[in-house]
């Protein structure tokens, strides 16, 4: 391969004979009309303000061509009259159609359009590799999902009617399937499942229970949850138990010398168990804490306390160790500390075993 060579030196004032320059002109003609295959075109320019090669197509549009690149006589790439680059022949090789070598800190090209690029495949999206993204097929996640954040949440929203209907389905049949909510760090089950509105429905056979040894009550509440709201039918069906409560009233400003009414466990009663105390007041000028002690045959079994910041007409609950009340036991209520509370009511509550006879 060579470039065009000078075959004849021109001498000023000397007649030029056609036979002497014919071969030299033929090199130029053959190069321009594409009949030569062994002459290389080499253009060189030292002016940075001018293009080395400038081609002008006087007809614009997609149908026209500014530059056409061929291989073995077949057009492979062209630049049309609108300045777009076209790869014309379908590729049969797996090699890339374009290879752009740039430093790792530089972008290979700049896109100044927000229009969708059809069939664009990319392994990296905003710094994330494709393997870091969840794969879906027809709306189904193909791998496990982990949400990692400071306050993670998963939200399901029905955009059609705003009902936010959510259905959890275990597809595979089996006898030991469980839907479990738990904290991964300590393997403890989630503490609450809140149904803010609507109805929680359980189909077929359902068992609601607290784990063995757990200090947990099963409750049903309408509206907001209510502390210590026992599920009485559940107690009755499983344990043949019902709930009971007996209260005592201190009229006026409570004093440490006061003792409210007492009661006795009736004849033929069985398995009375006291589990907690509740205390409330109606008014007063508070100066300290009020403590009411509940005694079984003169021995303290627990206390109910109202602090100097207690809210009027609000029940306060004090759990006590379960105490079995026997037939003819006497339960009495005594004020051991007075803090200005008025019209105080103390109630002892618990469960009773129901006879199966």
Mind listing the domains of the chain with CATH numbers? 1-52 (no CATH), 59-89 (no CATH), 232-353 (2.60.120)
Residue 216 has a pLDDT of 46
Whole-angstrom distance, CA of residue 38 vs CA of residue 27: 10
Residue 186 has a pLDDT of 53
Ranking 2-11, 67-76, 230-239 by mean pLDDT, the lowest is 230-239
| Residues 195-208 pLDDT 10s | 444 445 444 444 44
Q: How many residues does the chain have?
A: 357
What is the average per-residue pLDDT within 23-34? 82
- Whether 28 and 44 have beta carbons less than 8 Å apart is answered as no
DSSP string, 142-158: -S-----SSS-------
Question: What's the pTM?
Answer: 0.37
Residue 203 has a pLDDT of 45
| Residues 141-165 pLDDT 10s | 777 777 777 777 777 666 666 555 5
Q: Which of 30-34, 160-164, 229-233, 280-284 reaches the highest mean pLDDT?
A: 280-284
Q: Residue 254: pLDDT band by 50, 70, 90 thresholds?
A: very high
Classify burial at 263, counting beta carbons within 10 Å of its beta carbon; exposed 0-12, middle 13-18, buried 19 or more: middle
Residue 345 has a pLDDT of 94
Q: Phi/psi of residue 203, each to 5°?
A: -105, 155
Residues sharing a CB contact under 8 Å with residue 355, sequence separation 6 or more, in sequence order: 270
Q: How high does pLDDT run on average in the chain?
A: 76
**How does strand 272-280 pair with strand 316-325?**
antiparallel
Using a pLDDT cut of 90, give the percent of the chain over it: 19
Q: Which of 23-27, 133-137, 324-328 reaches the highest mean pLDDT?
A: 324-328
Q: Residue 348: pLDDT band by 50, 70, 90 thresholds?
A: very high
Ranking 266-270, 282-286, 287-291, 353-357 by mean pLDDT, the lowest is 353-357
Q: Which of 344, 354, 244 is nearest to 303 (CA)?
A: 344
Residue 223 has a pLDDT of 45
- Whether 86 and 80 have beta carbons less than 8 Å apart is answered as yes
């Amino acid at each position: 391969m060579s470039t065009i060579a000078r075959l004849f030196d021109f001498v000023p004032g000397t007649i030029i004979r056609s036979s002497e320059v014919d071969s030299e002109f033929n090199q130029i003609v053959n190069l321009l009309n594409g009949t030569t295959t062994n002459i290389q075109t080499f253009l060189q320019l030292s002016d940075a303000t001018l293009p080395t090669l400038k081609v002008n197509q006087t007809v614009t549009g997609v149908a026209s061509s500014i530059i056409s690149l061929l291989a073995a006589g077949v057009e492979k790439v062209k630049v049309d009259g609108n300045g777009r680059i076209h790869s014309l022949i379908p590729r049969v090789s797996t090699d890339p159609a374009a290879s752009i070598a740039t430093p790792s800190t530089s972008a290979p090209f700049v896109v100044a359009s927000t229009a969708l690029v059809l069939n664009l495949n990319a392994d990296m999206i905003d710094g994330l590799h494709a393997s870091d993204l969840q794969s879906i097929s027809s709306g189904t996640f193909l791998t496990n999902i982990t949400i990692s954040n400071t306050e993670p949440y998963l939200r399901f929203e029905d955009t059609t009617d705003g009902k936010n209907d959510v259905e959890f389905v275990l597809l595979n049949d089996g006898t030991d399937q469980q839907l479990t909510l738990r904290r991964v760090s300590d393997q403890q089950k989630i503490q609450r499942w809140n149904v803010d509105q609507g109805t929680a429905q359980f189909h077929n056979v359902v068992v609601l229970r607290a784990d063995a040894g757990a200090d947990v009550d099963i409750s049903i509440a309408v509206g907001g949850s209510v502390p210590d709201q026992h599920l009485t039918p559940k107690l009755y069906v499983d344990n043949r138990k019902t709930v009971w409560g007996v209260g005592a009233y201190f009229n006026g400003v409570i004093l440490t010398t006061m003792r409210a009414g007492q009661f006795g466990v009736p004849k033929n009663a069985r398995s009375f168990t006291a589990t907690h105390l509740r205390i409330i007041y109606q008014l007063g000028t508070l100066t300290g804490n009020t403590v009411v002690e509940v005694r079984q045959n003169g021995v303290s079994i627990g206390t109910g306390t109202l602090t100097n910041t207690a809210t009027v007409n609000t029940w306060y609950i004090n759990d006590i160790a379960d105490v079995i009340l026997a037939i003819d036991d006497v339960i009495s209520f005594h004020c051991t500390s007075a803090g200005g509370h008025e019209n105080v009511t103390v109630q002892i509550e618990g469960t009773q075993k129901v006879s199966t006879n």
